[in-house]
Amino acid sequence: MSKSNQLKFSPEVFGYPLLFVMLLWIVYWVEARFNINFNPYGIYPRRLEGLRGIVFSPFIHGSLKHLFNNSVPLFVLTAALFYFYREIRWKVLILGLLFTGVATWAIGRPSLHIGASGVVYLLASFLFFKGIFSKQYQLTALALAVVFLYGGMLWYVFPVDPKISWEGHLAGFFVGLVFAFLFKGNPIERKKYEWEREDYIPENDPFLQQFDENGNFIELPKEPVENSVPSSIKEKVAEENRKVVKIVYSLKKKDKDKSK
């Protein structure tokens, strides 16, 4: 397995998503602190000046609740994108943001559309469908986690609330689905077992050697214990056996004078 296809944690997995979310809060703080209204820089469908909102609208929010509701899923989903899809993460995030804005500009109601919810739907849709299509258990588990955490957002791609830009949600959902098809290849290389390799020879497989042509088990003769002992140990034992033990006796004459 190549190193480029291995999952690897790095500070940028959390760093860039955190920076992205912080920008949203900084913009909102500037609006509140200096009494500035950035809402006119949102997307206004089918108007020329509304095209600038394709870039600016994700950073603009109408209320603190609106900002908070987008911040948490945006951070979680962006971090997941940066960890599991680091080879295509910038393409998905930047191009997805732009195409979601263009689609919102094309299909939206004649009103200002602001907020990062379109990007949230883009990421949720991409992570879900890409995980299902990949057939990799890690990515499939991620897709199921996205459904578990944010599956309820699906209702808001429909016009259930006139105050919500469901067109932006629908645009992000559709762009994420298209990206899941367009970005081919899996970010995690599938592990190949020994029998899946091109140079695999069944006759040399120790496991298959225990079966005959009809699949019946054949008990292979056991190797003698002597043959299983490493040669280094054999040499050491032989050397110990060659050692000669010498016993030396010394005689000491008895002093007769002292004994009398």
Query: For residue range 104-122, what is the model confidence (pLDDT) as tens digits?
Result: 999 999 999 999 999 999 9
Q: Is 46 part of any domain?
A: yes
Range of the domain at 114: 3-182
Q: How many domains does the chain have?
A: 1
C-alpha to C-alpha distance for 205 and 211, rounded to whole angstroms: 11
| pLDDT band (50, 70, 90) for residue 222 | low
Q: What is the pLDDT of residues 25-60, one digit of tens each?
A: 999 999 999 999 999 999 999 999 999 999 999 999
Residue 141 in domain: yes
How far is the C-alpha of 145 from the C-alpha of 70, rounded, in Å?
A: 18
Quote the pLDDT of residue 1.
Answer: 44
Instruction: Grade residue 215 by pLDDT with cuts at 50, 70 and 90.
Output: low
In a domain, 54, yes or no: yes
pTM of this prediction? 0.73
13 part of a folded domain: yes
188 assigned to some structural domain:
no
Mean model confidence pLDDT for the chain: 84
Among 20-29, 138-147, 207-216, the range with the most confident prediction by mean pLDDT is 20-29
The verdict on residue 172 lying in a domain is yes
CATH at 69: 1.20.1540.10
Q: Tell me whether residue 68 is in a domain.
A: yes
Does some domain include residue 195?
A: no
